[in-house]
Amino acid sequence: MATLLPPKSKRQKKESLNPTTIEIPEKFPLVNVQFRASDDSNELASLLVPGNSSVRQLEALLNQLLENSDDPVPYNFALHHEDETIEIQDNLYTSVFHNGLMKTEDHLTLLYTPQAVFRVRAVTRCTASMNGHDGTIISAQFSPSTSSRLVTGSGDFTARLWDCDTQTPIATMKGHTNWVSCVAWAPDASIIATGSMDNTIRFWDPKKGSPIGDALRRHTKPIMALCWQPLHLAPDSGPYLLASGSKDNTVRIWNVKLRTLLFTLSGHTAPITCVRWGGQNWIYSSSYDKTIRIWDAKDGKCLHILKGHAARVNHLSLSTEHVLRSGAYDHTDFKPKSFSDERRKAKERYEACLKQSGERLVSASDDLQLILWDPQKSTKPITKMHGHQKVVNHASFSPDGRCIATASFDSSVRLWDGKTGKFLATLRGHVAAVYQCAWSTDSRLLVSSSQDTTLKVWDVRSKKMKFDLPGHEDQVFAVDWSPDGQRVASGGADKAVRIWSH
């Protein structure tokens, strides 16, 4: 007797739909379309276009209408339908008409969003394997100004500074007496901070790797997170304010230049897991106590407590995170003439990002869910995002703020709409827990690291794996994509730092 399978759920139907297998009719009726900017800044007159138009054809038409033909801009297109945002993937037919979502006599309002004009090439191969650490590599971060400089933190009690051009170590940064749990470049690349399980924070010269001053010792338990003040908020003296989160349940704000503790932010009742310093001068901290607290960086006062998770909160990401981390540096190879020039450019970049996507926050938790917040407007969630089957370990906004990638112990990466929290796709390919994700600076590509010893590169538009990157001999805990888009770095339990390029 034949086995009767249960009908597919709505989500399974969406996930199994593969537009490339759908035959697109050569002749299809004209449909009434109106282009509108996703930020409502511009609305064009309605016009008739073929109902089987591809994204590239829509892009060319919009550039012509906006008089961008001499310098065309790439766009994403989406459609609002019954409180849902439908992204136009390949063409109008497969996204809108084939599935019966709309009829050809309906009026379509297409929301357009400009993409990065430049393109980052996918990394495809390991170009260097750099040995030196004697313990598991826990953290890795590229300099905001160049992909030639990388810092890693390890269980061997050291951090290391690497020259990725020559594939050689610059310095072994010794001083900690326990695992180096986190590393953080200042947004102007002038100083490196490291936090350790020995309860201290140390600072290093990014050119030589030599120590700068004494360690900060006021925390009473291990340091779990570090975050610098955004460059556009820094005073004339430079970016010398740092926030640290610890297992002692506190967040502390330091003046690094003067080596003074400015504020101790008390209120959490369990260890801190993540700290983010937002562009509006608010500090966000997550904790084992299931809450997120928002602090005013000017006076250290708690402004809001965000509640909604049923288990510890593992990670936070801001929609402006990329520009806050990279400061003044972007794909244009900007060379600042002075610190004020650098700060001006950082402010311009932040304000452009803020105008395009606002400053939203996403939190990932052991309760298997994510929560999307707009903390500047409300302490209530925009939405709760369900779907992962195990702990959600990591969440990351794309540089353009339009998408969120999440990594889970259920072996999957999921993509969500960065404004609404709507589920977009499950990226399957890993066969064990996924630890971290990192975006390319043009928001078109994503790389993930896993317990299964591999990295995987994903194409965000097609929602498919682009490259499988084996090479590590053990689980990969740390991954970072350089802000200039040139390289990916990874590290893990095999103690080797690997550099990946195209």
- Express each pLDDT in 280-289 by its tens digit: 999 999 999 9
Q: Taking a C-beta distance cutoff of 8 angstroms, is the pair 108, 95 a contact?
A: no
Q: Taking a C-beta distance cutoff of 8 angstroms, is the pair 252, 265 a contact?
A: yes
Query: In the CATH scheme, what architecture does the domain 30-114 have?
Result: Roll (3.10)
Residue 468 has pLDDT above 50, yes or no: yes
- Mean pLDDT over 136-147 rounds to 96
Q: What is the 3-state secondary structure (H, E, C) of 12-29?
A: HHHHHCCHHHCCCCCCCC
- pLDDT band with cut points at 50, 70 and 90 for residue 334: confident
Looking only at Cα atoms, what is the longest distance across the chain?
79
pLDDT of residue 322: 93
Residue 312's CB is within 10 A of a number of other CB atoms, namely: 18
Q: Taking a C-beta distance cutoff of 8 angstroms, is the pair 315, 224 a contact?
A: no
Residue 104 has pLDDT above 70, yes or no: yes
What distances in angstroms separate CA 152 from CA 179, 199, 329, one per listed residue? 12, 18, 21
d(CA 328, CA 145): 8
pLDDT of residue 82: 72
Residue 78 has pLDDT above 90, yes or no: no
- pLDDT band with cut points at 50, 70 and 90 for residue 217: very high
Beta strands in 256-382 (DSSP E): 260-265, 272-277, 282-287, 292-296, 302-306, 313-318, 361-365, 370-373
Beta-bridge partners for 210: none
Residue 158 has pLDDT above 90, yes or no: yes
What distances in angstroms separate CA 110 from CA 48, 82, 166, 420, one per listed residue? 13, 14, 48, 17
pLDDT > 90 fraction of the chain, expressed in percent and rounded: 69
Q: How confident is the prediction for the chain on average, in pLDDT?
A: 91
- pLDDT band with cut points at 50, 70 and 90 for residue 147: very high
pLDDT of residue 87: 82
Residue 316 has pLDDT above 80, yes or no: yes
pLDDT of residue 14: 45
Using DSSP, state whether 414 is helix, strand or coil: strand
Give the pTM: 0.82
Residue 5 has pLDDT above 60, yes or no: no
d(CA 36, CA 83): 17
Question: How wide is the angle at C-alpha 175 spanned by C-alphas 499 and 259, nearest 5°?
Answer: 105
47 residue type, one letter: L
Q: Which of 44-48, 255-259, 270-274 reaches the highest mean pLDDT?
A: 270-274
Domain ranges for the chain: 30-114, 125-501
Q: Of the candidates 281, 276, 300, which has an alpha carbon nearest to the alpha carbon of residue 292?
A: 276
- pLDDT per residue over 381-416, tens digit each? 999 999 999 999 999 999 999 999 999 999 999 999
d(CA 421, CA 403): 9
pLDDT of residue 13: 45
pLDDT of residue 118: 67
d(CA 118, CA 237): 33
- Mean pLDDT over 449-460 rounds to 97
Q: What is the 3-state secondary structure (H, E, C) of 468-482?
A: EECCCCCCEEEEEEC
| The domain over range 125-501 is classified in CATH as 3.40.50.1000 | no
Q: Of the candidates 341, 355, 353, 359, which has an alpha carbon nearest to the alpha carbon of residue 281?
A: 359
221 residue type, one letter: K
How many angstroms separate the first and last alpha carbons of the chain? 52
Q: Of the candidates 445, 474, 477, which has an alpha carbon nearest to the alpha carbon of residue 458?
A: 445
d(CA 463, CA 310): 30
